[in-house]
Each structure stands twice: as C-alpha cells, then as structure tokens.
Amino acid sequence: MPVGYSRLPELLPVPGVRLAAVAAGIRYRGRDDLVLMELAAGSRCAAVFTRNAFCAAPVIVAREHLSREAPRFLLINSGNANAGTGEAGLADARRSCALLAGRAGCEPQQVLPFSTGVIGEPLPVDRLEGALDGALERLSPGGWEAAAHAIMTTDTVAKGVSEQIELDGRPVTITGISKGAGMIRPDMATMLAYVATDAAVDAAALQACLREAVERSFNRITVDGDTSTNDACVLVATGQSGTEVLQTGQEGYRRLCIAVNSVCERLAQLIVRDAEGATKFVTVEVEEGRDAAECLSVAYTVAHSPLVKTALFASDPNWGRILAAVGRSGLPGLVVEDIDIFLGDVCIVTAGGRAPGYREEDGQRVMEQEEILIRIRLGRGEAIERIWTSDLSHEYVRINAEYRT
C-alpha cells in the first residue's frame, strides 16, 4: 500500500485528448499494457527525457520525431523497455510508429513511442501491432483512468491528478498520470508522466513551463539513486479551451505554470508514496545553505544513505546516521557546530552533538509516523531546497531480487 494514497481520484477529461488502453500481451497477461494517446490537430507538445547515456530506443526516436513534426499520437507500452536492444531496438521503435501511422493516417514522425519495463528483451512488435486497431477504436476523452493503470509496472497503484483553473473567464483543465516505483532519482528515473491541458500555449513557453515544473517535482525525488534508460515526461497543450495563446511573462502563463507545477509535484510525490517497499514518505529539507546546489547535495546524501533509510524503516530515531550522512556530503568548510537537525519539530542535533533536552521518546514519536520531515539547517546562507524520498525495507529487496525471475 502506498503511503498516504489509496486510489486514483477522478481524472477530468482534457478537450483535445483521447486515450485508449488495451491488452497487447507484451509481457503481462490479463491486463492492459498498451496506451494510445491522441492529440487534436494544433496541439503543442513539450518533453524532457532521461539523461542516462544508455537511453532506450524509444527515447532516441521520440526525441527525433519531436524535433520534426507536431505529434498526433503518443504510443506507450509497459512490460518491455526496448532498452539495451541496439540497432534492432531502434528499428522496432520506428516500425511501431509506422504501423500506427499507417492505420491512423498520419506521418510516422507524428507518433512518439514510449516503453517501460524489462531492459534488454526485444520488443514484440507483432503483438503490439495486433492491438493497434482495437486501441484506435476505443479512443475516448475519458480514457485517463484506464491509461494510468496500463502504464504501471512494479507500481501498486495507478497515479493521477487533475486541477482546474480559470483563464480568460473560461475553465482550463490540467490532468496528468505517472508511473514509477523504483530506479528513481533526480534526472528522471524509471518513470513516465503525461500531463495535458486544454490551454493554448506558445511552444517555447510550453517547454519552459515543463522544464521548470520537472525541476521542482520529478527531479526532486529519489527512491534508490538508480536512474533508468527510459524516463520521459510530456506536457501537451491542446488549445481547445479557446483561450488566448499564452506567452512567457503573461499573468495567465504564470498561473498555468503554478497549476502544472502543482500537478507534477503531486504526481512525483505519488511515485515516492508508492516506492518499492516503502512504508514511509519522507521530506528532506535543507535550509540556510549557500546555494541550491549545496542544499541538494546534503539532501540527496541523506536521502540515499541506506543506513538512514533502514533506520526510517525501523522507526528508529538514529540521528547519528543522519549526522554522519551530512558530514560526508562533501561541503567545503562545513562547520559542524553551526548545524541544527530536526526530526519534525523536534531538534535532535545542535553544536555537533545531541541537542540538550532531546529525549529519545520525542524522536521516536516523529519516526513512528508514516510521513516524516527531516530538516537540516546548515547555518551558512539563505538557500533552501526540499526533496522527497522513501525508506529501505525488506520489501524493497524482495521486489528487486524477484523482479524478472
């Protein structure tokens, strides 16, 4: 069970977007594993991809297609990542796009392919092809929920969020879905996220909006420090709301960005809440750093520490492990005596040692909660950063030792 999240809320349709989920039998049996997302003509599409050097074939092809044509379809499969598959994998990704384009009457370059699942197995394009006609028939504005389920791999729950704002006196919807539970860390991870709005947004402004939102959401989460070969996040603006085309600097653009940010932040947090084996949802906040980079460096060192993560799993206020992680984060000229560390509202470390008046039961009380805040005050600047992570449990090992076998 995810921490603090039990099931998908209602997902609002986005005018200009239709979705279908079908069972292609790519790897899983008895469940949908192929999603088709159709974007109305005139839609704009921004995307960010994994920075892993070994990026998957669909990532290479999606980047290529995006640079040439405005996409009309996103074609997403779960169960097979089409990664580590060399030239044959590239050919498979291209063929999948062509097969859909032939049926849908568009150019292959107007299809963006996405894959998530096992690395290194050839993509069964024939099975995918066999499911395309059914998917095209089933396209519907209400397909978000089925799509959220179909893109899952080790996720235990489907993830989605909707928001509405008003622009030019008209309602504008932002709906997003995401998947991911392991191989998660900044610079994207084994995660896919698709967010769409019916706002009309200038192409450069849309990319800027996505980049900023991803930086503050998907790039602020870590489960295990591993990044994937397939990560992608797409933001679509169909323009069907009939509102004016937004440009950077406009008030309406700023408000849309805040809403997209909020949707992405919630989708990112859902990934951590559903992290493999997670029993805790942990916020690590680093304050009073000289700049964002050093705040993040401390935050990730703490969040990646297996010893901190197992202490979180054990609900053990083992603040020595947090302190040791801060100490090895590599900040130049770190003055130990200036650092304060809090568990929730309980001060546990000051002046290089246990805080006077700290009582084990106070730390224990915080650690027993499902949602925990670790706050580190560096005492050397004004910067502040916040990331989200999970604990390291028996389940994490079981899931990752058994996956694939």
- Among 175, 190, 229, 279, the active-site one is 190
- Unique residue bearing structure tokens 């290479």: 60
Choose, by CB under 8 A, the member of 310, 365, 383, 386 that binds a copy of itself.
310
Scan residues 6-45 and list those touching a copy of itself (CB under 8 A). Answer: none
Task: Please report how the helices 319-327 and 292-304 are oriented relative to each other, as an axis angle in degrees rounded to 10.
Answer: 130
Check binding of 357 to a copy of itself (CB under 8 A).
no
Choose, by CB under 8 A, the member of 129, 187, 212, 340 that binds a copy of itself.
187
Stretch that binds a copy of itself, among 3-11, 12-20, 137-145, 299-307 (CB under 8 A): 299-307
Size of the chain in residues: 405
Choose, by CB under 8 A, the member of 35, 183, 210, 263 that binds a copy of itself.
183
Check binding of 326 to a copy of itself (CB under 8 A).
yes
Can you tell me the distance from the alpha carbon of 286 to that of 272, in angstroms, rounded to the nearest whole number?
Answer: 19
Beta strand spans in 242-280 (E): none
Q: In this structure, are residues 148 and 8 in contact, taking their beta carbons and an 8 Å threshold?
A: yes
Stretch that binds a copy of itself, among 53-61, 123-131, 169-177, 235-243 (CB under 8 A): 53-61
Please, which residue, 43 or 154, has the CB nearer to a copy of itself?
A: 154
Can you tell me the distance from the alpha carbon of 121 to that of 289, in angstroms, rounded to the nearest whole number?
Answer: 45
Can you tell me the distance from the alpha carbon of 40 to that of 56, in angstroms, rounded to the nearest whole number?
Answer: 27
Check binding of 226 to a copy of itself (CB under 8 A).
yes
Can you tell me the distance from the alpha carbon of 283 to that of 268, in angstroms, rounded to the nearest whole number?
Answer: 12
Choose, by CB under 8 A, the member of 225, 258, 365, 386 that binds a copy of itself.
225
Query: In the complex, what is the shortest distance from the CB of residue 180 to a copy of itself, in angstroms, rounded to a whole number?
Result: 13
Q: In this structure, are residues 340 and 350 in contact, taking their beta carbons and an 8 Å threshold?
A: yes
Active site residue 190: yes
Encoding tokens for residue 17? 């977007």
Residue spans of alpha helices (H) in 155-239 = 203-215
Per residue in 155-179, is it b (16+ CB within 10 Å) or e — as a string? bebbbbbbbebebeeeebbbbbbbb
Choose, by CB under 8 A, the member of 36, 37, 83, 272 that binds a copy of itself.
83
Please, which residue, 173 or 350, has the CB nearer to a copy of itself?
A: 350
Binding region for a copy of itself (CB under 8 A)? 51-55, 81, 83-89, 118-120, 182-183, 187, 224-229, 304-307, 310-311, 313-314, 316, 318-321, 323-328, 331, 334, 336, 349, 351-354, 392-394, 396-398, 400-402, 404-405
Question: Among all residues, which ones are annotated catalytic?
Answer: 190
